[in-house]
Homo-oligomer: A and B are copies of this chain.
Amino acid sequence: MPNIDFWFSIGSTYSYLSVMRLAKFGAENRVAFRWRPFNVRSIMIEMDNIPFAKKPVKAAYMWRDIERRAGMYGLSPRFPVPYPLKELERANRIAVIGASDEWCPGYTVASYRQWFEEGLPAGSEPNISQSLREAGVDPEETLNRADSAEGAEGLLAATDEARSLGIFGSPTFVVGKELFWGDDRLEDAIAWHARRNT
């Protein structure tokens, strides 16, 4: 049974760091993560929480901070990364479908790797079909599901659940009733989890 819920949206910049390091980090710390995609953009718009658009100094810092931290984790992003994503909703509709099956992590890692390391926006072609193939899923059938009412409703339901938990950003790690927001709180989440289980 998963120990920590990992709430994220494909489209979030800092989530790149968590998505790419989570498998190794979980194994090293003997923690299982449940991947919970949602639409952080709609929650942020509701809250008028727009941290980077129209804030060029802060946005420039954000990219440099991600670059440095990626280096700490042995990752190799290629800048500038296309941003923001045009197809954020579609990327996350698919992730929600994948979360019911087993292929959400594989699809998400492939999406971010192509986006941040090859310059191919997540949620758009060719990234989206290639990420599905890498996750072992038929692109055509899955894209049809994502574009249907099932796809829309699945993402809305996940986003409603995130909102009800008090989540306002991506990534957010949830341990019991405690929220830990940001890739830079992953270690705090693990420490909290360890304390609860000792």
Contact = CB atoms under 8 A, between A and B. Distances in A.
Contact of A49 (B47, B58, B68, B69): B58
A185 B47 CA distance: 26
A147 interface: no
Contacts of A47: 55, 57-58
A168 B57 contact: yes
A49 B181 CA distance: 19
Copies of this chain, complex-wide, total 2
Contacts of A64: 178-179
B184 A58 contact: no
Contacts of A192: 68
B57 A48 contact: no
Interface in A138-194: 166, 168-169, 178-181, 184-185, 188, 191-192
Interface residues of A, number: 27
A135 to B, nearest CB: 32
A65 interface: yes
Interface in A48-80: 48-49, 51, 54-55, 57-58, 60-61, 64-65, 68-69, 72
A184 B181 contact: no
A31 B188 CA distance: 25
A48 B47 CA distance: 15
Contact of A179 (B54, B61, B179, B188): B61
Interface of A: 47-49, 51, 54-55, 57-58, 60-61, 64-65, 68-69, 72, 166, 168-169, 178-181, 184-185, 188, 191-192
24 contacts: A47-B55, A47-B57, A48-B55, A49-B55, A49-B58, A51-B51, A55-B168, A57-B166, A57-B168, A58-B168, A61-B166, A61-B179, A61-B181, A64-B178, A64-B179, A65-B180, A65-B181, A65-B185, A68-B178, A68-B188, A68-B192, A72-B188, A72-B191, A184-B184
